[in-house]
Amino acid sequence: MARARLNSGNASEKELPKAKINRESLKNIGKLISYIKPYRGRFIAALLFLFVSSIVGLAFPSFLGALIDAAQGKTHSKYLSGGLTVIGLTAFSVLFVQAFVSYFRVVWFVQVAEKALADIRRDTYFKLITLPMNFFSNRRVGELNSRISADLSQIQDAITTTLAEMIRQLILMVGGVTLLAIVSIKLTLSLLALLPFLIAFAVVFGRFIRKISRQAQDKLADSNTIVEETLQGIANVKAFVNEAYEAKRYNGNLREVVNIAVKGARFRGIFASFIVFCLFGTIIGVIWYGSSLVSHGEMTVGDLTKFVLYAIFVAAAMGSFPELYANMQKAVGASERVLEILNENAEPVSINAEDNIIKQKISGNLSFNNVNFFYPSRPEITVLNSISFDATAGQKVAIVGPSGSGKSTMAALILQFYYPQSGTILFDGKPANAYTLTDIRNQVAIVPQDVLLFGGTILENIQYGALSASREDVIQAAKQANAHQFISNFPEGYDTLVGERGVKLSGGQRQRIAIARALLKNPSILILDEATSSLDSESERLVQDALEVLMKGRTSVIIAHRLSTIREADKIIVLDKGIITETGTHEELMAHDGGLYRYLSQLQLESATS
């Protein structure tokens, strides 16, 4: 029956969208059910036990009826004709079988579901992390996260509970109606005429209540967002003295939450009264009519008891169907969303660590040959237009240009995050597709602008560059990256936890860790996305020195924001709106009157001196 969740504190339980159950969706579910295959023996056994326990469950009203009739000295039926003791003991034996069978069916269903779900979870996660970048630029992380958690939990519920419950209730309903008809066809018909109407009404009403309860949850979620936003930006709230504004906003929202919840409570009250009056009224009506049949000798008291119990079984089964069906629909929706990920085309990257060795060495020559590129998600904007340049092994190439001119996009293309629509990127003179993806990415390292560390220790974060590196290797790399000093100053040294995303470290420290990580990786080609956030001059010197060490002996592509740092570059590429407008050394470009580089350079010099 529609269980009304009106408690407005239940915000975490977001309703998942439902899907239509049709042939197509069942086919999809079928694909997921193939995950049960390895455990099918246990699954079939669990189904069988479920069947047995449900059938056995139907026997109890008969035992009760037989006991009551036996107490009055009447014979209930030819199958249960013994005395009280015989019937009681038989009932207990059956109960024992029921308990035994129930235990195994529950355990087996959960075992199968847990194992199958872990397989689906693992495959979904593996698929996710090997999907191309383009997939991620079109989706939000939160949404993907919810597929792994909420959607898969829904599928898990479907396998462990919903499916079993549906089968059980179906058996109880069909069996119950059959047995009701055997006991008294008159009573059964009168009951069946009433029950479906009552249940349909209850379901519709329940759905309405659920809608209100969802509104209350959404409103509460809104007010939680206010708390989150204000706490995250507490400095802003205080600096603008907007405490009163935020308090009013929050209070207003809370009032709405209460209003909706109270409105819902009224409907819930009506619903509860309805259930009490109609459903229990029906039972009383049946007993009333049944009692008159008993008084006319058309029925025994045992039969009436049996009848009432079967009627409750049937009503409960009928009432549970809408919710079970809704859960099934949600599971179908969840399966479709999970399958969408599983059916995506992954990058040719192996998830086995053994396949991660470099098969084809790249010495560091890098060329772009007439590269044209637009992001697949935004085909109308050409981001790179006929880009060509060469960098020989060991050279430093700087890319400069205004914001949005396509510098980071070039880095993304080198890393093969995206592929040009025309033109080629060559490594050592060979087109990128002559190498495996793993070979290229293993020999290209990037030190990004915004260094994102994982929540582990400093050691683990540096080791991310080469998982097999020893502690000594890590320390050596940290020393070269000018990071050893500050790491050793922490009481826990290399075992210091960096906090979520590395928040416990300063920008300059995070960058030096990223440099140590890149050093450990020992790439042939290095991409430096220069930090725009200004470090103080001491950390900037430390970072710059570390970068010099890192660049030694490798091809470096420097995405430069501060032109003062790239004077020594072998080649400077000036990019403007995706087109290379100038190329040359610092001196050559400075000599170019009216050139963009000279203009940008002068602009930065002026702002530095002022």
Ligand X SMILES: Nc1ncnc2c1ncn2[C@@H]1O[C@H](COP(=O)(O)OP(=O)(O)OP(=O)(O)O)[C@@H](O)[C@H]1O
Interface positions with ligand X (CB under 6 A) = 137, 375, 377-378, 383, 401, 403-409
Comparing CB distances to ligand X, the nearer of 411 and 458 is 411
Structure tokens at 572: 């400077």
Comparing CB distances to ligand X, the nearer of 384 and 518 is 384
Closest distance of CB 315 from ligand X, Å? 56
Comparing CB distances to ligand X, the nearer of 225 and 377 is 377
Comparing CB distances to ligand X, the nearer of 483 and 563 is 563
Instruction: Find, among 259, 249, 262, the residue nearest to 222 by Cα.
Output: 249
Closest distance of CB 433 from ligand X, Å? 22
Closest distance of CB 580 from ligand X, Å? 13
Exposure string for 226-253, b = 16+ CB within 10 A, e = fewer: beeebeeeeeebeeeeeeeebeebbeeb
Closest distance of CB 450 from ligand X, Å? 10
Comparing CB distances to ligand X, the nearer of 306 and 407 is 407
Report DSSP letters for 199-261, one per residue: HHHHHHHHHHHHHHHHHHHHHHHHHHHHHHHHHHTHHHHHHTT-HHHHHHHHHHHHHHHHHHH
Closest distance of CB 476 from ligand X, Å? 32
Closest distance of CB 198 from ligand X, Å? 55
> Could you give phi then psi for residue 381, rounded to 5 degrees?
-110, 115
- Tally of CB atoms within 10 A around 50: 23
Report DSSP letters for 326-344, one per residue: HHHHHHHHHHHHHHHHHTS
Comparing CB distances to ligand X, the nearer of 406 and 502 is 406
Closest distance of CB 593 from ligand X, Å? 25
Query: For the packed helices 471-480 and 507-521, what is the interaxial angle rounded to 10 degrees?
Result: 120
Comparing CB distances to ligand X, the nearer of 239 and 381 is 381
What distance in Å separates the CA atoms of residue 277 and residue 282, rounded to the nearest whole number? 8
> Could you give phi then psi for residue 14, rounded to 5 degrees?
-70, 135
Comparing CB distances to ligand X, the nearer of 243 and 344 is 344
Q: Which residues, in sequence order, are bridge partners of residue 583?
A: 573
Closest distance of CB 376 from ligand X, Å? 8
Closest distance of CB 457 from ligand X, Å? 30
Do 8 and 224 contact (CB within 8 A), yes or no? no
Do 482 and 509 contact (CB within 8 A), yes or no? no
Comparing CB distances to ligand X, the nearer of 73 and 379 is 379
End-to-end, the C-alpha distance of the chain in Å comes to: 74
Q: Which residues, in sequence order, are bridge partners of residue 344?
A: none
What distance in Å separates the CA atoms of residue 594 and residue 591, rounded to the nearest whole number? 9
Comparing CB distances to ligand X, the nearer of 359 and 378 is 378
Comparing CB distances to ligand X, the nearer of 546 and 560 is 560
Closest distance of CB 601 from ligand X, Å? 16
Instruction: Find, among 131, 130, 132, 134, the residue nearest to 374 by Cα.
Output: 134
Closest distance of CB 562 from ligand X, Å? 12
What distance in Å separates the CA atoms of residue 459 and residue 585, rounded to the nearest whole number? 39
Residue 55 burial (CB < 10 Å; 0-12/13-18/19+)?
middle
Comparing CB distances to ligand X, the nearer of 403 and 609 is 403
Closest distance of CB 405 from ligand X, Å? 4
Instruction: Find, among 405, 410, 404, the residue nearest to 388 by Cα.
Output: 410
Residue 595 burial (CB < 10 Å; 0-12/13-18/19+)?
middle
Closest distance of CB 561 from ligand X, Å? 7
What distance in Å separates the CA atoms of residue 210 and residue 481, rounded to the nearest whole number? 58
Q: Which long-range contacts (CB under 8 A, 24 or more apart) does 188-196 make?
A: 190/286, 190/289, 191/282, 191/286, 191/311, 191/314, 194/282, 194/285, 195/282, 195/314, 195/315, 195/318, 196/318
Comparing CB distances to ligand X, the nearer of 134 and 232 is 134
Around 211, how many Cα atoms within 13 Å sit in the side-chain half-sphere? Answer: 7
Do 409 and 133 contact (CB within 8 A), yes or no? no
Comparing CB distances to ligand X, the nearer of 31 and 378 is 378
Closest distance of CB 449 from ligand X, Å? 7
